[in-house]
Chains A and B, each alone.
Chain A
Amino acid sequence: MSTTASSVAAATDPASDPATVPSYAGPRVTHRPWLRFAARRAGRLLVSLWVLVTASFAMIHLIPGDPVRAALGPTAPAELVAARREALGLEDPLLVQYAHYLQGLVTGDLGTSLGSQLPVTDIVAQRLPATLSLALLAFLLAAALAVPIGVATGVLTRRGHGRRTELAFTTGSVVVATIPDFLLGVVLVYVFGVELGWLPVAGNDGASSYVLPVLALAVGPAAILARIVRVEMVGVLEADFVRTARAKRLPAWRVHLGHALPNALTASLTLGGLLLSSLVAGTVLVENVFAWPGLGSTIVSSILTKDYPVVQAVVLVYGLGVLLTNTLVDVALALLDPRSMIRED
């Protein structure tokens, strides 16, 4: 058969709209889906960013009553409240405030803390690394635990195998996953700090301080991720292409790791992304258990002292972290499985 242009065009995913199917006639083949994917993903990121920024701006205006009065307390003199409102620009029309807020964001000016009178940007810059390193290490640990465990139990409990292993694993992982990170933190503090005295339980003084908070953050997500990987693995092992790989008489480890795993991971990543962003949020609680000098303890103390500019900024940073995480997951997904670029939307 001669591969005419029309027959090649039929090679594209039949599910996609024929009008938007790129023609695979030229060398653009590998570039165009990427471009379209990047454009769409960037568009979505921008919209989410705008929603995030607007929400963090609106937050202070949604608070019933006067936030400055609330922050300074009922006994503060009226002049002080008025002066502070003036300084925060709260007397301007809403749109002007919004414009100022956006302008500040672009120039890296997040305002001034009501409490310490320090620039909020400095506070964030000082606190962010501790939180970021905590979240990243926890994610790496969760993935490093979950993928091998999920793959191994997946292979052990594939169709027609290991009914008991499956029951033990699913029940066990539900229980482990239900333990909230801050409770696990408390238990870890008790066991390794109070009883054994092996590890520091508060603050950040070097590598040993990381052990307990990272563990507290990682165990729950690891259990959930391992379940997802197992389920995907069991499903993928039934797929036709795994049979093809077996027909090639590849060694079992190559069938499992080379053919099944990448496909199991693509599906796992979609849910894993949600997990990753909840892990980012989980730092708030865990930091408070371990008195960790990061953004999580900052936001709680700022909420309690009604230091709104700091709260706004930290909410923004956390939200940004979540958005970037989700975007990275999508990109990783596209790298692992190019079909996901076309399939999207």
Chain B
Amino acid sequence: MTDAAVPTAVPTAGTDAPGGRWRGLLTSPVGVAASVLLLAVLVLALVGPTVWGARADAVDTSDLLAGPSSAHWAGTDNLGRDILARVLVATRLSVALSLLAITLAVVVGLVLGSLPFLLGGGRLARLVTAGVGVAVAFPGLLLALFFAVVFGVGATGAVLAIGFAGAPVFARLTQTLVAGVAARDYVAAAQVAGVGRLRVLLRHVLPNVAEPLVVNAAIGAGSALLSFSGLSFLGLGVQSPSYDWGRLLFDGIGVIYVNPAAALAPGLAVLLAGLAFNLFGESIAKTLGVPVVAGALRVPTRRSAAPGAAAAPTPAAAPGDDDLVLDVRDLEVSFAGPHGPVRAVRGVSFGVRRGEAVGIVGESGSGKSMTALAVSQLTGDDARVEASRLQVLGADLRAPAGPQVRRLLGTSLAMVFQDPMTSFNPTRRIGRQLAEVATTHLGMGRREALDRAADRLGSVRIDDPQRRVRQHPHEFSGGMRQRAMIGMGLMGQPALVVADEPTTALDVTVQQQVLDLLADVRAADDVALVLISHDVTVVGEVCDRVLVMYAGRVVEDLPASQLSTAAQHPYTRALVAAVPSMDTDLDRPLATIPGRPVDPAHVPDGCAYAARCPLATERCRVEDPELVTSATGGRVACWHAGEPLPATAVPAAEHDTLVEAP
């Protein structure tokens, strides 16, 4: 926000108590420095002429254009007057004229910016908007020069010039802010109630836009001060015998070879005062507008080889480990949070064999996506990933990847992400984005790689691939982009496809196409698939095996065919029961799992599901069950695995629904 070059709208926080928020200004070192500096400038403006006035005007013909000395710290001018005193005295005029100019700019801007609202749309309102739009495109200095010609050379002319030149920016800002507030319900309500537009503007709209306007006016005061000095420096502002900093600079640059301090002293004054206003404005903008992020607590990335904290190494997969394309043991993913680490994944172990399709299901926040990202080394930089084993095709992912591992992963591990709309680079053609894989990892030339890209697009059933490779992502529909993403994974020779909610962001009608495509890819070349989804039905349809995750752990691992018949864990059974089927009675509320998912920052002792579980006993709340081989041959982590559920699980309306809306 504060990084913008021009004054920008600050999101208003609305109706918070102002006192507490303004106090935040004094907690940042920059804010304190700016406040102190600004206060000093304002005090100087008040007392300067009284204290140093006489000294500044004392002519001493015996000491003309002298350099800095103990008597005159910044030397003297061509009449022997003390430069430092003149700079201090000039504070009042410089600051006062700038404040006058910025006030004019805000007032004119406020009027111009409110006009479209007052006029209530229509041709005249559009004309004002367009006029402001044209004026904003011109730099302030150019507008100021224009108005300086019109209003004439001198202090009054310069105030008017800078005021009018600054107005368009504030008009645009007001317009944006007013339009934002006017769209709110209570303004509409007031208008419906027959309150006049002017009244609505004064009563309801302006009080709500005052804060960002004031903030920007503070920043604007700094710019006005600099502009005013500029105009005076050009000889178009304050005229002799009056003087502001710009005028002193104008006089000083002429004698810079004789007494450089004559130019440097007023220059420094302009700089400090301008900085004071700017930094003060930006600090309050930051204090009022942007919520404080607990960013200082972030831990740098570390993919350490240390095994995950408490959990003892568990046997991950059945014998035949050589066949594993993916081998994960004791995977932990955590983030630094305000109250200690947030453990998104807490000791997950599983393996995926060549050609096998494994689904990972769970609610939002269960850690399933984090598991997928950790497996592909794509967690954010602030995540901490630990595991006792993390191998893809035999390559250890815990160490930083060398070129060979990168090539291996680049060609044999394919990712499909949730949102195809944002997962392609909008500025590059689809073909180039696909071809990049081949040029980087397969040593293909550009032409050859593009041909392969077209071929791959064809293989994921995109018509006219030769034309499509030349298009940008925004020319593709969501379903097509997702297929193109799969095609991108097929540029190499994938052995493993990790698909993170690949159908969630898609239209229901194209979801099936994408699932079919994934199934085909898998069948064609014995490719393993890890499919992350919150949708049990999708996973049951596509996968051989299902891992059910809850609160960062795998709670059950079972063949997909047993999902609806032989699930052992009460959570799995609740998931399956929550899926509406053809014979669900639609007059009754849909089944849900009562209670809320566990907050990863506050994982309870014992079984994390205990609070929501109808079978929970005292032991569940104290002791966390291990993932062990179940009666039906899968793995399950539950003290009461397979026990019959009590009949009355009454769904409550206010509880979270399990099946998330697509």
Interface positions of A (Cβ within 8 A of B): 1-3, 7-8, 10-13, 24, 29-30, 47-48, 51, 55, 59, 62-64, 158-161, 163, 170-171, 174-175, 177-180, 182-183, 186-187, 189-190, 193-195, 224-225, 227-228, 230-231, 238-241, 243-251, 254, 258-259, 262-263, 266, 271, 274-275, 277-278, 280-282, 284-285, 288-289, 299-300, 303-304, 308, 311, 315, 318-319, 322-323, 326, 336-339, 342
Cβ contact within 8 Å between A186 and B415: no
CB-CB nearest in chain B for A179 = B271
Distance of A54 Cα from B278 Cα, bound (Å): 35
9 smallest A-B Cβ distances: which pairs? A249-B410, A160-B382, A3-B463, A281-B139, A160-B381, A247-B415, A240-B422, A278-B139, A281-B141
Within 8 Å CB of B428, what residues of A? 259, 262
CB-CB nearest in chain B for A173 = B3
Interface positions of B (Cβ within 8 A of A): 2-6, 30, 130-131, 134, 137-142, 145-146, 148-150, 152-153, 222, 226, 229-230, 233-236, 249, 252-253, 256-257, 260, 263-264, 267, 270-271, 274-275, 278-279, 282, 295-296, 298, 300-301, 376-378, 380-382, 401, 406-407, 409-410, 413, 415, 417, 419, 422-428, 433, 436-437, 440-441, 461-464, 467, 470-472, 474-477, 479-480, 485, 488, 510, 513
Cβ contact within 8 Å between B142 and A318: yes
Within 8 Å CB of A274, what residues of B? 5-6, 139
Within 8 Å CB of A177, what residues of B? 5
| 8 Å CB contact of B146 from A180, A238, A315, A337 | A315
Distance of A7 Cα from B478 Cα, bound (Å): 10
| 8 Å CB contact of B440 from A248, A318, A337 | A248
Cβ contact within 8 Å between B274 and A180: yes
Known A11-B477, A338-B474; contact A62-B150, beta-carbon cutoff 8 A: yes
Taking A187-B267, A304-B236 as given, write out 6 further A-B residue pairs in contact, using a Cβ cutoff of 8 Å, ordered by the A residue number: A170-B3, A186-B253, A228-B5, A241-B425, A311-B149, A337-B426
Within 8 Å CB of B441, what residues of A? 249
Kindly count the residue-residue contacts between A and B in the assembled complex, taking CB atoms under 8 Å apart: 239
Distance of A258 Cα from B433 Cα, bound (Å): 10
CB-CB nearest in chain B for A180 = B226
Within 8 Å CB of A304, what residues of B? 153, 235-236
Cβ contact within 8 Å between B462 and A190: no
Cβ contact within 8 Å between A243 and B425: no
Cβ contact within 8 Å between A285 and B234: yes
Cβ contact within 8 Å between A178 and B3: no
Cβ contact within 8 Å between B380 and A322: no
Known A51-B134, A336-B427; contact A243-B378, beta-carbon cutoff 8 A: yes
CB-CB nearest in chain A for B144 = A281
Q: How near does chain B come to A42, taking the closest CB pair, in angstroms? A: 15
Q: How near does chain B come to A135, taking the closest CB pair, in angstroms? A: 12
Known A240-B419, A243-B423, A322-B138; contact A194-B256, beta-carbon cutoff 8 A: yes
Within 8 Å CB of B233, what residues of A? 182, 285, 288
Distance of A290 Cα from B306 Cα, bound (Å): 64
Task: Enumerate 22 A-B pairs (CB-CB under 8 Å) in ascending A order.
Answer: A1-B479, A11-B476, A12-B475, A47-B130, A47-B134, A161-B300, A180-B226, A180-B230, A186-B263, A187-B264, A195-B260, A230-B3, A245-B425, A248-B488, A249-B410, A251-B440, A254-B440, A259-B425, A271-B5, A281-B142, A284-B234, A322-B142
| 8 Å CB contact of A266 from B378, B427, B513 | B427
| 8 Å CB contact of A300 from B152, B234, B296, B380 | B234
| 8 Å CB contact of B137 from A228, A322, A342 | A322
